């Protein structure tokens, strides 16, 4: 039962699949309540069509590919990559209305991105920057999981890492995270939470990494720089360096992390419906780039951590549905999540208030560099 009203902008790019998930077979996905079928043409170009035949609504994903076209599995209507019907059984004349919706697709940084809203606004420059996922100076891998919750609960979760202490105590959490001060800032479409924990004992995960990569044992300076880009992408710059080795920025000095280890947790969370989402993540590192064993180990280690979150997020979703009118209190730690929510609301409100006649609004992203 979908008891949560949907709350997401349509004029935005959403990750629909990892690049390798889509090939010469038909993949069904739901993005923002819209059922899609994804495939690649012979030359590799990705295609996203509405997953319902124009004739009798059978999901086109139950059909088959014939060259670059898709044949419905019930009565054999054929649709091309633009969604136009090119063949009907037992008749010569094709109904000119016979087509299914086609969606803008961009392939970037190992994801296929879909724009479920107005196609004329689908500017590829608006795709979130996840270049660490495909950069020779970084190594990593990731996964996709389906979580039974509103995508915004995943955003909340990522915007406040205090929860590491309580949810992930055995790996990346320790008391320092819950107690360390942080700074929250925001832009027109981004919000950032920065937390430095100086001269602390590294939690088990990071203690292992810095020892393995740099041979360092002992106290560290640890950082977490969380950057949200509305509506649903969160990159987290994380790492540790030997305590006092200069990693901490001071005034104009950006800090020198060269003795430390650095990772990026890349997260983009695509609403399927109002209360389910597809959570795409990857973990990229800037050390020991050639160790495939380490890539594998980190991917599975992070997956284990995210399963702990999944358990909490789905319980929280259920509790929210049982308390539909609950007003939430915010703590200091919720500053980042509050800004993320506000930026999402702004995008949704902008879409809803777009008067017919007035041009629709896309909130700009200003990129550094």
Q: Which positions lie near a second copy, rule CB under 8 A?
A: 35, 52, 54-59, 62-63, 71-76, 88-91, 95, 97-98, 156, 160, 162-163, 165-167, 178-182, 311-312, 315-316, 319-320, 322-323, 326, 328-329, 331-333
Is the Cβ of residue 217 or residue 315 nearer to a second copy in the bound state? Answer: 315
- CB 170 to a second copy: min, Å: 13
The answer to whether 341 and 152 have CB atoms below 8 angstroms apart is yes
Least Å from the CB of residue 356 to a second copy: 21
Residue 66: CB minimum distance to a second copy, A: 11
Cβ proximity to a second copy, 100 vs 112, nearer residue: 100
> Could you tell me the smallest distance in angstroms from the CB atom of residue 223 to a second copy?
16
* Closest distance of CB 323 from a second copy, Å: 6
In the complex with a second copy, the residue whose CB is nearer, 58 or 225, is 58
C-alpha dihedral sign at 233, 234, 237, 239: negative
Cis peptide before 231 (omega within 30 of 0): yes
Cβ contacts of 250 within 8 Å, gap of 6 or more: none
Q: Return the number of the residue (62 or 363) whose C-beta is nearest a second copy.
A: 62
Q: How far apart are CA 72 and CA 296, in angstroms?
A: 39
CA distance 109 to 187: 24
Q: Which residues contact 21 (CB under 8 A, 6 or more apart)?
A: 27, 38, 112, 144
CA–CA separation, 205 and 188 (whole Å): 34
Q: How far is the CB of 85 from a second copy (least distance, A)?
A: 10
CB of 97 or CB of 253, closer to a second copy? 97
3-state SS class at 1: coil
Q: Identify the CA nearest to 213 among candidates 149, 139, 112.
A: 139
Q: Which is nearer to a second copy, 128 or 274 (CB)?
A: 274
Q: How far apart are CA 197 and CA 182, in angstroms?
A: 9
């Amino acid at each position: 039962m979908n008891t949560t009203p949907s709350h997401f902008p349509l004029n935005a790019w959403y990750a629909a699949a990892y690049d390798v998930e889509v090939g010469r077979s038909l993949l069904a996905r739901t993005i923002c309540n819209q059922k899609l079928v994804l495939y690649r043409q012979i030359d590799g170009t990705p295609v996203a069509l509405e997953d319902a035949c124009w004739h009798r609504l059978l999901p086109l994903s139950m059909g088959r590919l014939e060259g670059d076209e898709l044949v419905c599995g019930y009565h054999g209507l054929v649709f091309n990559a633009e969604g136009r019907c090119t063949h009907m059984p037992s008749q010569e004349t094709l109904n000119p209305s016979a087509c299914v919706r086609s969606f803008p697709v961009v392939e970037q940084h190992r994801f296929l991105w879909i724009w479920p809203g107005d196609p004329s606004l689908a500017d590829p420059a608006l795709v979130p920057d996840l270049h660490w996922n495909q950069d020779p100076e970084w190594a990593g891998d990731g996964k996709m999981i389906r979580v039974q919750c509103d995508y915004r609960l995943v955003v909340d979760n990522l915007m406040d890492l205090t929860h590491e202490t309580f949810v992930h105590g055995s790996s990346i959490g320790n008391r320092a995270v819950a107690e360390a001060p942080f700074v929250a800032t925001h832009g027109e479409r981004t919000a950032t939470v920065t937390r430095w924990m100086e001269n602390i004992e590294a939690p088990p995960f990071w203690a292992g990494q810095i020892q393995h990569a740099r041979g360092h044992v002992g106290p560290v300076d640890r950082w977490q720089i969380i950057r949200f880009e509305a509506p649903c992408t969160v990159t987290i710059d994380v790492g540790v360096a030997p305590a006092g080795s200069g990693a901490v920025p001071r005034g104009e000095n950006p800090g020198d992390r060269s003795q430390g280890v650095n990772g990026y947790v890349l997260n983009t969370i695509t609403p399927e419906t109002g209360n389910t989402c597809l959570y795409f993540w990857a973990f990229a590192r800037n050390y020991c780039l050639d160790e495939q064993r380490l890539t594998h180990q980190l991917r599975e280690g992070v997956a284990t951590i995210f399963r702990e979150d999944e358990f909490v997020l789905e319980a929280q979703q259920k509790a929210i549905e049982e308390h539909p009118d609950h007003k939430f209190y915010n703590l200091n730690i919720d500053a980042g999540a509050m800004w993320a929510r506000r930026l999402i609301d702004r995008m949704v409100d902008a879409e809803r208030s777009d008067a017919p006649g007035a041009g629709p609004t896309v909130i700009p992203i200003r990129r550094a560099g």
